[in-house]
Structure 1
Amino acid sequence: MDYSLETTRRKENLLRAVRNLQVKSESTLQKASPLLSSHQGMGMVKECHIQQLAEKTKVICHDLENIKNLLYFRQNNLVLQIPNPNGSRYGQISRIHCSLDGTAYVTSENGPWVHLLNRSGQAFQSLQCVDWGREKEHFLPEDVTVTRSGMVAVSDMLNGVIRIFNPHSKFSQGDWIKIGKFDSPRGIGVDSMGRILVADYTQGKVHIFAVDHAFKVQGVHVISDLCGPRYVSSVPDGGFVVSEECGDVKYFGGSHRLICSISNKYGYQFGNPAGVCTDPEGNIIVADEQQRQVVLFPVSGSPVCLVSEGLRRPTGVSCSSFGHLLVADAGENCVKVFKYKVKPYSNPESPRIASENSNLSPRERLR
Structure 2
Amino acid sequence: MDYTLEDTQRKEKLLRTVYALQVKSDATFQKASPLLNNHRGMGLVTERQVHELAEKAKVICHDLDNIRNHLFYRQDDLVQQIPNPSGRHYRGVSGIHCALDGSIYVTCEGAPRVHVFNRSGQVVQSLPCVEGKKKTFLPEDVTLTRAGMAAVTDMVNGTVRVFNHHSKFSKGEWVKIGQFSSPRGIGVDASGKLLVTDYTEGKVHSFALDHAFKVQSPHSVSDLCGPRYVCTAPEGGIVVSEECGDVKLFSHSHKLLFSIGDKFSHTFGNPAGVCADREGNVIVADEQRRKIHLFPRSGSPICLVSKGLQRPTGIACSTQGLLYVADSGDDNIKVFKYRVRPPFNADILSASTEGPNLTPR
How far apart are residue 255 of structure 1 and its match? 1.3
| Structure 1 residues 289 and 344: CA distance shift in structure 2, 3 A | farther
How far apart are residue 136 of structure 1 and its match? 2.3
How far apart are residue 346 of structure 1 and its match? 7.0
Q: Which residue of 1 aligns with 2:249?
A: 251
| Structure 1 residues 22 and 77: CA distance shift in structure 2, 3 A | same
Q: Which residue of 2 aligns with 1:183?
A: 181
CA contact 1:234–1:277 (8 Å) conserved in 2: yes
Name which of 222, 225, 237 aligns with 2:223. 225
Give the whole-Å Cα distance in 2 for the aligned partners of 1:88 and 1:236: 38
CA offsets per residue over residues 151-193 of structure 1, 9 Å max, x none? Answer: 0000000101000001222333321100011000000000111
Within 5 A, what are the aligned runs for 1:21-170?
21-132=21-132, 136-170=134-168
SS at match of 1:247: coil
SS at match of 1:237: helix
How far apart are residue 36 of structure 1 and its match? 1.5
User: What is the RMSD of the two structures over their aligned residues, measured on CA atoms?
Assistant: 1.4
TM value normalised by structure 2 = 0.93
Q: Which residue of 2 aligns with 1:358?
A: none
How far apart are residue 38 of structure 1 and its match? 2.6
Q: Which residue of 2 aligns with 1:336?
A: 334
Q: Which residue of 2 aligns with 1:14?
A: 14
How far apart are residue 291 of structure 1 and its match? 0.5
One-letter code of the match for 2:314? G
CA offsets per residue over residues 281-338 of structure 1, 9 Å max, x none? Answer: 1100001000001100000000000000111110110001111110011111010111
Task: State which drifts further: 117-126 or 161-170.
Answer: 161-170
Residue 302 (1) aligns with residue 300 (2): yes
| Structure 1 residues 99 and 347: CA distance shift in structure 2, 3 A | farther
One-letter code of the match for 2:95? R
CA contact 1:280–1:346 (8 Å) conserved in 2: no
SS at match of 1:16: helix
How far apart are residue 213 of structure 1 and its match? 0.5
Within 5 A, what are the aligned runs for 1:267-278?
267-278=265-276
One-letter code of the match for 1:104? I
SS at match of 2:4: helix
One-letter code of the match for 1:127? L
TM value normalised by structure 1 = 0.92
| Structure 1 residues 33 and 346: CA distance shift in structure 2, 3 A | closer
| Structure 1 residues 347 and 177: CA distance shift in structure 2, 3 A | farther
Q: Which residue of 2 aligns with 1:280?
A: 278
Question: Unpaired segments of 5 or more residues in structure 1?
Answer: 349-367
How far apart are residue 3 of structure 1 and its match? 6.6
How far apart are residue 89 of structure 1 and its match? 1.4
CA contact 1:242–1:251 (8 Å) conserved in 2: yes
Name which of 199, 206, 209 aligns with 2:207. 209
One-letter code of the match for 2:248? K
How far apart are residue 345 of structure 1 and its match? 3.2
Give the whole-Å Cα distance in 1 for the aligned partners of 2:128 and 2:344: 34
How far apart are residue 117 of structure 1 and its match? 0.1
| Structure 1 residues 13 and 344: CA distance shift in structure 2, 3 A | closer
SS at match of 2:91: coil
One-letter code of the match for 1:315? T
One-letter code of the match for 1:244? E
CA contact 2:275–2:284 (8 Å) conserved in 1: yes
CA contact 1:206–1:222 (8 Å) conserved in 2: yes
Question: Unpaired segments of 5 or more residues in structure 2?
Answer: 347-361
Give the whole-Å Cα distance in 1 for the aligned partners of 2:16 and 2:343: 27
Task: List structure 1 segments (4+ residues) > 4 angstroms apart after TM superposition.
Answer: none
Give the whole-Å Cα distance in 2 for the aligned partners of 1:191 and 1:51: 41
Identity %: 64
CA contact 1:192–1:236 (8 Å) conserved in 2: no
CA contact 1:166–1:174 (8 Å) conserved in 2: yes
Give the whole-Å Cα distance in 2 for the aligned partners of 1:22 and 1:80: 41
